Chain A
Amino acid sequence: MSSQETILRGEGLVKDYRMGPARLRVLHRVDLAVRRGEFLCILGPSGSGKSTLLHLLGLLDRPTAGRVFFEGEDAFARAKRWRDRMRNEAIGFVFQLYYLMPDLSVLENVLLPAMIRTSLAAWPFTRSAERARALEVLNDMGLGHRVRHLPRELSGGERQRVAIARALVHRPRVLFADEPTGNLDSATGEDILRLLVRLNRETQLSIVMVTHDDRLARQADRVLHLRDGKLLQHA
């Protein structure tokens, strides 16, 4: 399904955390590449460093050593403003705990990336187009009737679909999913997974998913096993 073009590459990624005077190494020189349109799964038990690796690849955190290339650009050699822009325009995130803004409605949550990149002065001119796009994505997720509700009024599966809608509304090139079904019952989890697979197949969206559940990993194009901060094998 995926092309041979590499959209994202990590080289010698190391991440240390300070634990008082001691340093805890969570990632040990991890190398990996993600191809455009690929569904990559990183599989590993809790505490293996999956989320940390996802945060580094998603430009949310800076590696202690190593480099991340996003579309050929050395991301951490560029200004922080550039990384902010990439997260806003080219990357989408889906988290296990959804991470929706509790004070914003469903529609406002999905509009958030657009509201971050648009000034108040420009908003009246772009609002209707952005709103139409957000409603289109929400309808696609089967949430057209929930746009005015607050996240706390939705079920877990609905919240995760809102989070996916927010991650997709700006047409990202890469979607990072951190245990996207970890907080859902099995039926809802399967729905969400089918949704991700459909998106990957239909839109050629690159997806990087981390999970500890090998049943989910079977849906991916490629699976990497991470244990104690080291990549073990390619499947």
Chain B
Amino acid sequence: MGEHLAWPWFWPAVAAGGAAVVALAALVLLAPVYKHIVCLKYLFGGWKAVVPIVSALPAALGVFLLILVFAIMDGFVMETREMTRGTLSDIIVDAHLGGLPYYDDFAERIEQIEGVEAATPVIQTYVIARIKSSGERLKPIVRPCVLIGIRPAEKAKMGRFIEYLGRSREAGPAIPAEHLLDVPPELRAPGRPQRPGAIAGTAVVGVPVTDYVMETVQAGAGRRVLAWFLAAVMTVVALFVWRAQVHRPDRKGWVLATVLCALSAAALVAAAVFAPVHPGRVLRPEVVDYPILARGDDLVVSTIPVRPQGGLEMDPGGVPRVSSRALTLVDTFKSNYWEADSTHVYADFGVVQQMAGMEGDAGRGVPARATQIQVKIRDPAQAQTIVGRIGEAWEAFQAERPDADLPTVSVNTWETQQQMILTIAKVQRNITTLMLGLMFVGFAVLIALISYVMAYIKSRDVGILKAVGASDAGVGSLFLGYGFLIGLVGTALGMVGALLMLHYLDAIEIWVNEALGVDVFPRTMYYFDHIPRHLSPWWCVAVGGAVLVLATLASMVGGLLAAIRQPVETLRYE
């Protein structure tokens, strides 16, 4: 809700929506009562009521798909956002591979800015990691990775780093943050040299595979939902028809009502038979990283140091100098953000600094370097303001050290830093929404045709109403109300269907997997352990409102025909 309140158009939108509802209520209340009665009779009178209900189905389908697909796509965006956010800090000051000197001084300067909670230097460099299991006779795996040098106690304050660690997920004694990278005594093999500790993504030191876990409760839920939904629809339709038949017996209507009631009863029986009352047990797919390395195993990382000016460190013979180091795996890291889990390796800041050739040389007056400063702020809503202040602080910092040849840095929020991946997800969401939105064009054409045909078929009614004193506009608006009601029925059906589907999505997915033998949502591909979903109430309001407006506008075709038709035309030529 807080996020919605931050949206600048929130209150104007609420005011506009409120005004629209009040205007609509006034229109309904002040309209002559014949419009409501005739409109409802056209929609729900007798067995012919099935026709407008069927014509509402395209709207229902459109609303259902738009809400469902948008909720899932938005879920992807939101969960990707949350995962990327958790692996980073709120703000990143990035000097890239060339490095940022005097990083501790500048981190201290950043911490003095109002709203900043903490700042820590980080070194990020690209490495080749060689992973070889000590226990099994497997061929070594070589992977490109990102080696990140951190000060564990300071990094623990950034993002959700601590929550993602394997030892944090296990129920055990909490490890003080400053010792996260220490190699515990039980992992030190006698006679083997002491290595620095490392924390690696589960997919760096493992292979993601889809495993199946036994799960209870969910059995038959998909069938139950489907059967209940069908039974509910049938019952509603049957009730309408029966209601009409009680007042106005009609042979065709009785047959239809009996068939519908029989179908509704069959659907209810199906719901009872196919959905077990007692919970069953099913296999539920879940992604797991099959580990190649265990804690205590070594991995070897190799990189080529980069000079402050950006060039590579070379041997005297002109060959790039490769810096390699063996590290002992002390923990694993799993954020569910594939990029991080499959490439990130964390090691001590000093170790990485040395490997990357950024340790400096006090004798020659070369300062040590880091590649980033990560910043934690108190109020995420202030991020952009603080980004500006850090930029100003860097300019002042540069001005104080005119001879230091300080590099240009980029200061970004985590969101801007990950803009590419978030933009891709958003673009996919928007394109899909747009494509599905085109369905409504078809719906609008259908409503326009239905309202035209209705106005044509009911032209005698139009003549009668005008002869008895109804105005042209009044009779025309009767057909607008007709379109509006079709849109309302469609919106209600579609929305209820979409909400049910979203609620039971996991159960339905399992059922479809079982029934059709397909993997609807491969976990290894998306790296989510469930189908993500995020439903904004505003989106529901927008979709429902759009359908109602569209239905009303489209039914203007019939409304205009009815309004301009002279009563004598229809009464004379009957």
- Which residues of A approach B to under 8 Å, CB–CB? 51, 55, 58, 60-61, 80-81, 84-89, 93, 95, 97, 99-104, 108, 112-113, 115-121, 123, 148-150, 153, 166
| CB <8 Å contact, B33 and A84 | no
B439 interface residue per 8 A CB criterion: no
Q: Using Cβ atoms and an 8 Å threshold, which residues of chain B touch A84?
A: 466, 469-471
Q: Using Cβ atoms and an 8 Å threshold, which residues of chain B touch A60?
A: 466-467, 567-568, 571
- Chain B residue nearest to A87 (CB atoms) is B469
Question: What is the number of residues of chain B that contact chain A, defined by CB distance less than 8 Å?
Answer: 35
| CB <8 Å contact, B572 and A121 | no
How far is B461's CA from A116's CA once the two chains are assembled, in angstroms?
13
Q: List 24 contacting pairs A-B, 8 Å CB cutoff, sorted by A.
A: A55-B572, A58-B467, A60-B466, A84-B466, A87-B466, A87-B468, A88-B468, A88-B469, A89-B469, A93-B467, A93-B468, A95-B571, A97-B574, A99-B460, A99-B467, A99-B574, A101-B38, A103-B41, A112-B34, A115-B32, A116-B465, A119-B29, A119-B31, A120-B31
Given contacts A120-B28, A123-B33, contact A100 B464 (CB under 8 A): yes
Q: Using Cβ atoms and an 8 Å threshold, which residues of chain B touch A100?
A: 464
Q: Give the distance to chain A from B564, nearest Cβ to Cβ, in Å.
A: 13
B residues 451-497 in Cβ contact with A at 8 Å: 460-461, 463-472, 474
Nearest 7 interchain pairs by C-beta: A88-B469, A115-B34, A103-B41, A121-B29, A87-B469, A123-B33, A61-B568
- Chain A residue nearest to B472 (CB atoms) is A80
- Chain B residue nearest to A102 (CB atoms) is B461
Bitwise interface map of B from 33 to 50 toward A, beta carbon under 8 Å scored 1, else 0 = 110111001100110000
| CB <8 Å contact, A117 and B38 | no
How far is B36's CA from A108's CA once the two chains are assembled, in angstroms?
12
Q: For A120, give its contact among B36, B471, B472 (CB under 8 Å).
A: B36
How far is B468's CA from A85's CA once the two chains are assembled, in angstroms?
9
| CB <8 Å contact, A150 and B248 | yes
B278 interface residue per 8 A CB criterion: no
How far is B466's CA from A88's CA once the two chains are assembled, in angstroms?
9
Q: Using Cβ atoms and an 8 Å threshold, which residues of chain B touch A88?
A: 468-470
Q: Using Cβ atoms and an 8 Å threshold, which residues of chain B touch A149?
A: 248
| CB <8 Å contact, B38 and A103 | yes
Q: Give the distance to chain B from A149, nearest Cβ to Cβ, in Å.
A: 8
| CB <8 Å contact, B567 and A117 | no
Q: Using Cβ atoms and an 8 Å threshold, which residues of chain A touch B46?
A: 103
Given contacts A84-B469, A117-B32, A166-B468, contact A99 B463 (CB under 8 A): yes
Q: Using Cβ atoms and an 8 Å threshold, which residues of chain B touch A101?
A: 38, 461, 464-465
How far is B571's CA from A100's CA once the two chains are assembled, in angstroms?
11
Q: Using Cβ atoms and an 8 Å threshold, which residues of chain B touch A116?
A: 32, 34, 465, 468-470, 474
B515 interface residue per 8 A CB criterion: no
- Chain A residue nearest to B41 (CB atoms) is A103
Q: Give the distance to chain A from B48, nearest Cβ to Cβ, in Å.
A: 9
- Chain B residue nearest to A123 (CB atoms) is B33
Apart from A89-B469, A93-B467, A119-B32, what 7 extra A-B contacts exist at CB < 8 Å? A55-B571, A60-B467, A61-B567, A81-B471, A99-B460, A116-B32, A116-B465
Q: Using Cβ atoms and an 8 Å threshold, which residues of chain A touch B474?
A: 116
Q: Using Cβ atoms and an 8 Å threshold, which residues of chain B touch A86?
A: 469
- Chain A residue nearest to B460 (CB atoms) is A99
How far is B572's CA from A122's CA once the two chains are assembled, in angstroms?
34
How far is B471's CA from A117's CA once the two chains are assembled, in angstroms?
10
| CB <8 Å contact, B464 and A99 | yes
Q: Give the distance to chain B from A174, nearest Cβ to Cβ, in Å.
A: 14
Q: Give the distance to chain B from A37, nearest Cβ to Cβ, in Å.
A: 23
How far is B32's CA from A15's CA once the two chains are assembled, in angstroms?
33
Task: Among A60, A89, A95, A153, find the residue whose CB has the most chain B CB atoms closer than 10 A.
Answer: A60
- Chain A residue nearest to B28 (CB atoms) is A120
Q: Using Cβ atoms and an 8 Å threshold, which residues of chain A touch B470?
A: 84, 88, 116
Q: Using Cβ atoms and an 8 Å threshold, which residues of chain B touch A102?
A: 461
Q: Give the distance to chain A from B147, nearest Cβ to Cβ, in Å.
A: 73
Q: Using Cβ atoms and an 8 Å threshold, which residues of chain A touch B192?
A: none
Q: Using Cβ atoms and an 8 Å threshold, which residues of chain A touch B574?
A: 97, 99
Q: Using Cβ atoms and an 8 Å threshold, which residues of chain B touch A85?
A: 469
Q: Using Cβ atoms and an 8 Å threshold, which residues of chain A touch B463?
A: 99
Q: Give the distance to chain B from A101, nearest Cβ to Cβ, in Å.
A: 6
How far is B12's CA from A83's CA once the two chains are assembled, in angstroms?
43
- Chain B residue nearest to A150 (CB atoms) is B248
- Chain B residue nearest to A104 (CB atoms) is B41
Given contacts A93-B467, A99-B467, A166-B468, contact A115 B566 (CB under 8 A): no
